[in-house]
Chain A
Amino acid sequence: MMQFTTFYVGKTLFGVNILQVKEINNQMKYTPVPDSADFIKGLFNLRGQIITIFDLAKRLGRHDTDIQDKTRNLILKTDVETALIRSSNKIEEIGHDAVGFIIDRIGDVIEVEDTDIQSAPANVGDISKEFIKGVVELKDDLLIILNVQEIIKF
């Protein structure tokens, strides 16, 4: 049994292991970083911690995220923060730099049996295969479990 925090980027539903999520907020004042990758939205200060925010849509090859009422930042835990729970809960290592994704809308928390997670044989829609850790077929939707490690590697 695993729990996923789900969210939408455009109309696509994505999920990240809930234990990996530090918090979700709506602080939209970023410090842009000139001379950096175009899918990096910028930096902000979360209680003294510097968070690098990725524009997930852009990273997946779509347009820049348009900031709306429901736009949120999904902040992930760093390796230090997940050190004690990582191995027992299949949490990815993402390094010591704090990262977050800008997303269009937050979804529900979804419980999934390990056996329901299928590996993605190929690209799913416009999402390239390397960014997908697995897919879960829900009643009326498809949940794409993100490969966070791959998203922030470049």
Chain B
Amino acid sequence: MKTIHNENLAHLEDKNSENKNETIRVSLTLLDELMIYAGELVLARNQLMRLTTELSKTIPGLSNVLQDIDMTTSTIQERIMNTRMQPISLVFSRFPRLIRDMTMKNKKKIHLETSGDSVDLDKSVVESLYDPLAIVMYYLVEKDIERTEERISANKEETAHIYLKAYQEGGKVNVDIISDGAGIDTQQLLNKAIEEGLVSANDAERYGKKDIFDLLFSHNFFKNHMKLDHGEEEVGLVDARVMLEKIGGSISVDAGLANNTIINVKLPLTLVIIPSIIITVNEQNFAVPQVSLQEIVRLKAGDVEHKIEQVNDAPVLRLRNKLLPILYLHKVLGMKKEEQNDETVRIMVMKHDDNEFGLVVDEIFDHEEIVVKNIPRFFKNSLCYTGTTIMGDGSVALILDIGGIGAKGKLNFTGLKEQTGSGDDIDRRMHDDMQNLLLFENAKDQFFALNLDLIKRIEKIAKADIDLVGEKEYIEHEGKSLHVIRLEQYLPVQAPDHEDSDLYVIIPKAVENPIGIVVHRIVDSISVNTEIDSDSIMAKGLIGSALIKDDLVLFPDIFELIEMSEPEKVQKYRAKDKKKQKILLIEDTPFFRSLEKNYLESAGYTVDIAIDGMDGFKKAGLYKYDLFIVDIIMPRMDGYQFVEAIKRNPELQKIPTLALTTLSSEESKAKAFNAGFDAYEIKVHKEKLLETVESLLNK
């Protein structure tokens, strides 16, 4: 059946190459109908899959047929969706006229440029996009771009530029609207907000730049009478935000600097079928759109290190170096909590706009593609739902509105943000040597762990998804084929004695040639404070071992595994014996200490270690080091203090310093350079680290 299928496709392709631009007219009603049926087909497929899980073990060949149906259904649905996609240029092409009309009146000179015109969006999104973008455009032309004389006196080009840029990122389409006008005066905006009583003077002190920018969209400071698709109206930026939110989009100011105002609009590709996670509260199913989900945290009963705490009467979770506000879904929805025997707390870390919060639910199930149906008008008053969907068993589930849930939970994001944002103090206080590990099993009772920071994704796959090409195995991942390896191929460990039909693939983060690691079972994700012993069990591809809860756990070295599995792609940074340069590595987390030391040694450097800034400073003078690699957040003396001390010391100040940290924001980067660091790298990115180290040493 497969071959016939492929022949048909090949035949189609031949035909297409002959008549490249063949098109026919199809009525929109027909397409809409097809889309509804495709939706129903997806539902029926989901139901079928659920009903046959048991059967496929007993009926030979059934699972193959099911997989075919599964794949074909997804493809049909995707192709039908594609028929409704329209280029964003349909909207962009209307703006030159708008700008022309406006500049005729206000005598400004504006040049409009667009890019990404061919980015496709669902028809319904395209149709609702002109109005909000026009309002933003109006705001920029009227308020941001100066009059010609002002531009001349400010030594700026007479003609102002507005740049509309569309691009796809993740599952979203972004539209950046960039202008080289005067920028947004945050102080003035804040003062205005205080004047109008929107913000109290007290609160205003705690307002960060982002919060001030958000004020632009929470209150109409400027209104214009505009001719829009849905009629002539007095509208402002708040209306633009509301319109965008209606179609599942969002708007924010990315930069408000002079000459570079960037307003960013995020739009969903389509509104009809969305990936989601099914969760339960009191045994009722809800669907959570996956775009908002950042990660899942599970707190075991009795875990004293990680628990929900109260800060100013609000529940929070200390997650890495942040305070995460916590909401209980049953409380937000006003449901009574039933007694639960299982005391594990399951928290979904959600992100909406730029606000993060943890949502506590009872159970978290699989990922599912759901068909979004409207929410009946009777529930519009509740902020909590965006739609409904029909589950595999035919029952109805509500789709949660994460923005609404956050608002309903009356999250004081600003307040909490301040607490975390006040920077290194709290970072330092909260920083401990805990590591978040993913525990998994390959052969039975043989445990492995990887640091969660090293993992990009974990995919559940069917055994049949793995294709053997030559001697290597591949799976399809994000439309590309991904080389997958098994631990027993490269490490001295046992192979599993049997193979389940469901396997997992761990895809590491921050590597240039990604591979996936096939594992048999994911055991848990845990937080532990443990030292990795790199002497007892030594093998190529292993960082070391540790005893965790009385089990011996091996820590594979992803980067070495990649090198072992793809020797033809081995980096240029292999050990070169001519190097005898010595590096002092200052890092307080044992895990990273072992890992980074390992990388550096594998590249041929000699590495000494120090466990915090103070220790590092003491050791710095003992030997003539060629380079200091320094973690930022450390107890006693942090990275900034360390580098400042080094730069004050005439003997040490010439030695290059590299900040190696998990903090990836531009701010912390700038702060590091200000403090005197010569380079800045994010942890776990091996290739880049070695590249930077080499260039620092060759200076």
Interface residues of A (CB under 8 A from B): 29, 31-37, 40, 43-45, 48, 50, 52, 95, 97-99, 152, 154
A31 touches B284 (CB 8 A): yes
User: Please, how many residues of chain B have a CB less than 8 angstroms from a CB on the other chain?
Assistant: 26
A40 touches B378 (CB 8 A): yes
Q: Which residue of B lies closest to A44 (CB)?
A: B396
* A125 CA / B378 CA spacing, docked (Å): 27
* A50 CA / B390 CA spacing, docked (Å): 8
A50 touches B388 (CB 8 A): yes
A35 touches B382 (CB 8 A): yes
Shortest Cβ gap from A26 to chain B (Å): 16
Shortest Cβ gap from B402 to chain A (Å): 15
Partner of B334, one of A35, A40, A97: A35
A45 touches B395 (CB 8 A): yes
Q: Which residue of A lies closest to B383 (CB)?
A: A35
B376 touches A97 (CB 8 A): yes
Name B355-388 residues within 8 Å CB distance of A: 373-374, 376-379, 381-382, 384-385, 388
Identify 10 residue pairs between A and B in the complex whose beta-carbon atoms are under 8 Å apart, listed by A's number: A31-B397, A34-B333, A34-B384, A35-B332, A35-B334, A43-B376, A43-B388, A45-B390, A50-B373, A52-B376
* A36 CA / B395 CA spacing, docked (Å): 19
* Interface residue? B475 (CB, 8 A): no
Q: Mark B266-309, 1 if CB is under 8 A from A, else 0.
A: 00000000000000000011000000000000000000000000
B378 touches A52 (CB 8 A): yes
* Interface residue? B398 (CB, 8 A): yes
A35 touches B333 (CB 8 A): yes
B378 touches A37 (CB 8 A): yes
B376 touches A34 (CB 8 A): no
Shortest Cβ gap from B80 to chain A (Å): 17
Q: Is the interface of B mostly helix, strand, loop or mixed?
A: mixed
* A36 CA / B394 CA spacing, docked (Å): 22
Shortest Cβ gap from A140 to chain B (Å): 36
Shortest Cβ gap from A81 to chain B (Å): 15
B377 touches A95 (CB 8 A): yes
Given the interface contacts A48-B40, A50-B373, A50-B388, does A33 sit within 8 Å of B397 by beta carbon?
A: no
Contacts of B388 in A (CB 8 A): 43, 50
Contacts of A48 in B (CB 8 A): 40, 43, 390
B378 touches A152 (CB 8 A): yes
A50 touches B396 (CB 8 A): yes
* Interface residue? B469 (CB, 8 A): no
Shortest Cβ gap from B380 to chain A (Å): 10
B334 touches A34 (CB 8 A): yes
Shortest Cβ gap from A104 to chain B (Å): 22
Contacts of A40 in B (CB 8 A): 378
Contacts of B376 in A (CB 8 A): 43, 50, 52, 97-99
* Interface residue? B30 (CB, 8 A): no
A45 touches B40 (CB 8 A): no
* Interface residue? B1 (CB, 8 A): no
* Interface residue? B59 (CB, 8 A): no
Contacts of A29 in B (CB 8 A): 395
Contacts of A34 in B (CB 8 A): 284, 333-335, 384
Other contacts beyond A33-B385, A43-B376, A44-B395: 6, CB < 8 A: A33-B382, A34-B335, A35-B334, A36-B379, A40-B378, A98-B376
Most buried by B among A45, A97, A98: A45
B394 touches A45 (CB 8 A): yes
A35 touches B384 (CB 8 A): yes
Partner of B396, one of A45, A95, A99: A45
Contacts of B285 in A (CB 8 A): 31
Shortest Cβ gap from B533 to chain A (Å): 50
Partner of B377, one of A31, A32, A97: A97
* A35 CA / B388 CA spacing, docked (Å): 15
* A95 CA / B408 CA spacing, docked (Å): 28
* A35 CA / B378 CA spacing, docked (Å): 11
Contacts of A152 in B (CB 8 A): 378
Contacts of A95 in B (CB 8 A): 377
Q: Mark B376-420, 1 if CB is under 8 A from A, else 0.
A: 111101101100101000111110000000001000000000000
* A24 CA / B284 CA spacing, docked (Å): 26
* A44 CA / B374 CA spacing, docked (Å): 13
Q: Which residue of B lies closest to A48 (CB)?
A: B40
* A145 CA / B382 CA spacing, docked (Å): 31
* A99 CA / B388 CA spacing, docked (Å): 15
Shortest Cβ gap from B389 to chain A (Å): 9
Contacts of B385 in A (CB 8 A): 33
Partner of A31, one of B335, B382, B396, B408: B396
| Leading 8 A-B pairs by shortest Cβ distance | A34-B333, A97-B376, A31-B396, A43-B396, A35-B382, A52-B376, A34-B335, A35-B333
* A141 CA / B411 CA spacing, docked (Å): 55
Name B41-58 residues within 8 Å CB distance of A: 43
Contacts of B382 in A (CB 8 A): 33, 35-36
* A4 CA / B384 CA spacing, docked (Å): 38
